[in-house]
Amino acid sequence: MREVLKAEGFAALPRRLDEERPQRPRPTVEAVADVRALSLAPRHILTTCGGLFLFLPHLARLPVETLAQAGRLPGSKMIPPAHALRACLALKLWSLERKRHVMSLVADEGLALFSGLNVTPARTIVWIETAEDVPGGIVARTSEA
């Protein structure tokens, strides 16, 4: 549009102010995943991932802490290895094959609660890859989503 106006000898149109721009959905800023910020206070949670909680009896019998230690999975004070493993398990159980699809569920409290975190990790996700050239066959890596 600018080039057409310029070619016809017109001045450039002034830019609109923020309040003059049309209203449309904008990205929201979500909390940072941190196990220390998890609240287990009684409350009602609206979630699209409620079916995950059907797996809780099986998850309770699974030695997640031991598996995370045995696999030498990376972790931090904010997202311990076992919690990262639960987050990956939740995504797999919810049939999210690609890590880039997690962004639509980052704000879902149910998915985070299943993992034992305050929110689902958005930018960095721990994933496990089978590698033939690694002793033991499993290597843990941190990947940008």
Q: What is the pLDDT of residue 101?
A: 59
pLDDT band with cut points at 50, 70 and 90 for residue 14: confident
Alpha helices in the chain (DSSP H): 2-7, 56-61, 64-70, 81-93, 109-115
Reported as a single tens digit per residue, the pLDDT across 23-32 is 887 777 778 8
Reported as a single tens digit per residue, the pLDDT across 61-92 is 999 999 988 988 888 889 898 998 888 888 88
Q: Where are the domains of the chain?
A: 30-144
| Dmax (CA) of the chain | 75
Q: What is the pLDDT of residue 93?
A: 85
Q: What is the pLDDT of residue 84?
A: 87
DSSP per-residue codes, 56-68: HHHHHHS-HHHHH
Q: Which residues contact 19 (CB under 8 A, 6 or more apart)?
A: none
In the block, which residue shows the tokens 């290895």? 81
Q: What whole-number percentage of the chain has pLDDT above 70?
A: 77
**Angle 120-121-122 from CA coordinates, rounded to 5°:** 110
Q: What is the pLDDT of residue 36?
A: 93
Q: Is the pLDDT of residue 127 over 60?
A: no
Query: Which pair of structure tokens corresponds to residue 136?
Result: 């033991």
Q: What CA dihedral angle connects 28, 32, 33 and 37, to 10 degrees?
A: -110
Q: What is the pLDDT of residue 35?
A: 92
Q: Is the pLDDT of residue 131 over 60?
A: no
In the block, which residue shows the tokens 């600018």? 2
Q: Is the pLDDT of residue 37 over 60?
A: yes
Measured distance CA(117)–CA(79) in Å, rounded: 8
Query: Which pair of structure tokens corresponds to residue 49?
Result: 């991932």
